[in-house]
Structure 1
């Protein structure tokens, strides 16, 4: 009986996601002509630049304090492990199946990055507000659960736009490897240009050192280093709006003087926090509608091979959650994690989520595997209805 109650509790948030996703898919149909390409583009822009940063900022401001951040130190490490373990499993699978090189970036990204933001933000409040909630008082559970989910989204965004972004960029740049002659010519040309640039750099450096032996051109060197770091790290992409919103929320919530200004009934600037929260409330339904509209592309089909799709499903819904249980239980055994069941549930849940929606944005950015990405998203999110429910039920049973 207890297992059945846990199953119902785990099923409710998944059903909620499915219903809103189905609505998004229907609105994207030609017959309704609501979420067409232009509408999706504008709504996605609003979600990316306005709704999501506002949501993360408002929740982190209200729920995260400096003390909480110290207590939750394991979450960034846990999320990093989900990326590393998922990417390792995906790479092993690709080597075994001898998949084409142009699919490496997409498959590795889907295996590594889970939907660490939107789904937890839907699942946690539904689990807490359910009549059979196993996590205690509704208000306290909701407050802690939304804090955990928001922090998960903040950290996940940083990892996605550094780790996954660069993986897809790396392999998308090599997607034309079949044209060997062109590549060889380009390689020779680039090598010659690089050699020429290197010779010029050495000559310039020799001239500078001869002319200014005491200064040794420290400023030009520093400028080159800074320029190289900016280009390599791609700070514009790293500091995505959701990441900026996370930083602002952590500052406002974690630093006591700022918290007193913005949070609480007596806070002089509470209207700013209330307004941000109101705008952020639109993020979850808007994102879920977009998921349904974008998944509709997957119904059109592509040339993607079935074994690749099955491999991603096995990695994300079988291998990764099983290893996640071992990692989290091991951390509990060694006293690295506090004994809050809701926090442990959140850590376990991070291993069982479907691929991040941001991957489709990244593939569109590089023009690599957009159709295949739609197929992957359609299949993984359809299977998540069963997988996520079963794993959530098991995780609840495990931590209680």
Structure 2
């Protein structure tokens, strides 16, 4: 691994709980990793520890096979050859774009320095803007200047701490795609911190979900969404709710009974003996619930959010359970209206009834009679 973090813990003096608690992750050369989680989960502290701005209490960090931190040894930040892009850009207002970008390479000969500045500005799409000042640029352009400045010294690792949080929502997602393309073109290895899932999905090759100092899962976006490692990941990623369910074995076939009826044609599911009496909570994503006027199950719309091409409806069943569903926006139903719904669940994710955030789902099995005989 290009970057390897092993059992890393960081605890601030006077704090009873570690800000980063036993975190391990690996990042391959040329990949972009993203740390995501609620405020105070430890993601920025982890980033700062990798940068050398925070000391590790235990565990280790290695970069290109070189140990930069292991609890006893702490390589200073300025020796790690790591570039950083901050939330506030940290551009020098009195320097033009060219001199901002050249700040970290001032020791290079003038001709070589000017050539490098021109190269990275072209890479970030700001070719020919060397003589402009930061106040003459848009927020997105300032962010790209900050990225160019971080790339100019050819760092072996680039760290980005919520770099788009000061930008409006539409620009943030678009710039995330642009920054990903820039980093890939530069062949950079990067670790990125955000609290925005759309940013994480747009930019990351691998994404880590953190909560209370722990890394719950380090995986690609598809796995986080469809195969969450803990209940916290299941709740944090995407839109969805947990509904009470019971897993049964009928004629050597697994059946998952839910408030919407039995789930049909599920490829993977735990066996009933995974839980006491088969009772569990099943994760129902918004895209697992389909609006169908002819469905026998009806639900009342209690909240709606317009998302352009679709509505996100929050629904309540007669039995009191709450569900969510994405519906094309031309189906403009009123709050309080009852609509027909049915479940189409391809990935069954279940947890023990009322389990805590750190609990893991029961392992699924392929639903096939030959696999179930003898259980």
Report the TM range for the smaller structure's normalisation: under 0.3
**Whose helix proportion is higher, 1 or 2?**
1
- Which one scores higher on RCO, CA 8 angstroms, separation ≥ 6? 1
Which of the two has greater strand per residue? 2
